[in-house]
C-alpha cells in the first residue's frame, strides 16, 4: 500500500513539473544556457525552432513557460530582434495571445526583450506606433559587464522576493527609450517598470555609465506587462545560476554568494507549484 501511494505521489509530481519552451531562431546563442537554468530551477525544457512553431502554432500546447532567449536572431541584420518580431506579429500573434490568456508565463532575455518590445507584447502600439523601443547604447558600441539592479513597484512574477540583483549584460542595442514623459508616467502607474540599473551601493537617481551601461531612460533594465506574467530584461540571468559564475567567486566565500540569476527562473517554476 505504501509503495502504491509513493508511486501515485511520484506521478503527480512529474505531472505538476512545469514545462518551458525555449524558442530558437537563426543566430540565437544563449538557448542552451537558458534551458539549463530552467532545469536547475526545476522545470522540464524543450527546444523549438521558430520555423517549426510557424508551421505548427499549436506546438505551444502543454507548455507553461515560453522563453525567447538571448543572442543575435537573424544576425540583427536590420536591427536587433526586428525580423523575429516581424514573424511573431505576422504569423504567431494569435498563438502567443492564446498562450498568454491561458495564464502562462513569457520571458524575453536580451534579444528576447528586444523581440517582446518590437512585437508590442509588453507595451502595445497606439495611433502613433510603439511608444517605447530599445535602440543603440549611448556609447555606440557593444558593452559587456556586470551591473547592479533594483526591482521596481511591479507585479512581475519573475522578480518576486527580490530587491537588489547583480547580473551580467552583453548588448549593443539595449537603451530603453520612451516617447515622452507621459508614456513613462503611464508605465509607472501600470506597475510595468520592473527593473532599473542602480549604482553599486544600490542608490538610484542619476546613474551614469558604466552603472547604467546603455543610457536607458529612467535607468530601465526590464519591463513587464500589466499582468506581471510577461517579462523582458536586458541582463542575462542565465549566466549567473551558480556561485562560480560570479566574477569574484575566487575571492569570496561561495556560501556567501547570492545566486541572483537563478532566483528569476525559480520564481517562474514556483509560480506553477
Cβ count near 161 (within 10 Å): 9
Grid coordinates belonging to 76: 540583427
- What gap in Å lies between CA 259 and CA 242, rounded to an integer? 6
CB 120, CB 89: distance < 8 Å: yes
pLDDT score at 180: 97
Whether 74 has a pLDDT exceeding 60, the answer reads: yes
Ordered by where they begin, the domains of the chain are 43-123+131-270 (3.40.50.880)
Please confirm, yes or no, whether 236 is among the known catalytic residues: yes
Q: How many CA atoms lie within 13 A of 131 on its CB side?
A: 15
Q: Give helix 260-270 / helix 31-41 axis angle, nearest 10°.
A: 60
pLDDT score at 205: 87
Catalytic residue among 30, 33, 171, 236: 236
Indicate the pLDDT class of residue 264, thresholds 50, 70 and 90.
very high
- What gap in Å lies between CA 203 and CA 207, rounded to an integer? 8
Please confirm, yes or no, whether 110 is among the known catalytic residues: yes
Whether 15 has a pLDDT exceeding 60, the answer reads: no
Indicate the pLDDT class of residue 5, thresholds 50, 70 and 90.
very low
Please confirm, yes or no, whether 238 is among the known catalytic residues: yes
Whether 147 has a pLDDT exceeding 50, the answer reads: yes
Whether 13 has a pLDDT exceeding 90, the answer reads: no
The per-residue pLDDT of the chain, averaged, comes to: 94
Whether 10 has a pLDDT exceeding 70, the answer reads: no
The end-to-end CA distance of the chain, in Å, is 26
CB 197, CB 207: distance < 8 Å: yes
pLDDT score at 16: 74
Catalytic residue among 30, 67, 95, 110: 110
In percent, the amount of the chain with pLDDT more than 70 equals 95
CB 193, CB 223: distance < 8 Å: yes
Catalytic residue among 156, 171, 173, 238: 238
Whether 129 has a pLDDT exceeding 50, the answer reads: yes
pLDDT tens-digit map of 174-218: 999 999 999 999 999 999 999 999 999 999 889 999 999 999 999
Indicate the pLDDT class of residue 2, thresholds 50, 70 and 90.
low
Whether 14 has a pLDDT exceeding 90, the answer reads: no
Average pLDDT over residues 92-118: 97
CB 90, CB 81: distance < 8 Å: no
Amino acid at each position: 500500500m505504501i509503495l502504491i501511494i509513493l508511486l501515485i505521489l511520484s506521478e503527480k509530481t512529474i505531472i505538476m513539473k512545469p514545462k518551458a519552451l525555449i524558442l530558437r531562431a537563426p543566430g540565437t546563442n544563449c538557448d542552451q544556457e537558458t534551458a539549463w537554468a530552467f532545469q536547475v530551477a526545476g522545470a522540464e525544457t524543450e527546444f523549438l525552432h521558430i520555423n517549426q512553431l510557424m508551421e505548427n502554432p499549436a506546438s505551444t500546447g502543454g507548455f507553461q513557460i515560453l522563453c525567447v532567449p538571448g543572442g543575435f536572431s537573424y544576425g540583427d541584420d536590420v536591427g536587433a530582434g526586428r525580423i523575429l518580431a516581424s514573424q511573431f506579429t505576422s504569423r504567431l500573434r494569435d498563438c502567443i495571445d492564446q498562450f498568454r490568456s491561458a495564464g502562462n508565463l513569457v520571458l524575453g532575455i536580451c534579444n528576447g526583450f528586444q523581440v517582446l518590445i518590437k512585437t508590442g507584447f509588453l507595451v502595445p502600439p497606439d495611433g502613433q506606433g510603439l511608444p517605447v523601443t530599445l535602440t543603440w547604447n549611448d556609447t555606440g558600441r557593444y558593452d559587456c559587464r556586470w551591473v547592479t539592479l533594483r526591482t521596481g513597484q511591479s507585479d512581475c512574477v519573475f522578480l518576486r522576493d527580490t530587491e537588489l540583483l547583480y547580473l551580467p549584460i552583453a548588448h549593443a542595442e539595449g537603451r530603453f527609450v520612451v516617447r515622452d514623459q507621459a508614456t513613462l508616467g503611464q508605465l509607472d502607474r501600470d506597475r510595468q517598470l520592473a527593473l532599473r540599473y542602480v549604482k553599486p551601493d544600490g542608490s538610484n537617481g542619476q546613474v551614469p555609465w558604466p552603472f547604467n551601461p546603455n543610457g536607458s531612460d529612467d535607468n530601465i533594465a526590464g519591463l513587464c506587462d500589466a499582468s506581471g506574467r510577461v517579462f523582458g530584461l536586458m541582463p542575462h540571468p542565465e549566466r549567473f545560476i551558480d556561485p562560480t559564475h560570479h566574477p569574484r567567486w575566487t575571492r569570496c566565500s561561495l556560501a556567501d554568494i547570492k545566486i541572483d540569476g537563478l532566483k528569476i527562473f525559480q520564481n517562474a517554476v514556483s509560480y506553477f507549484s
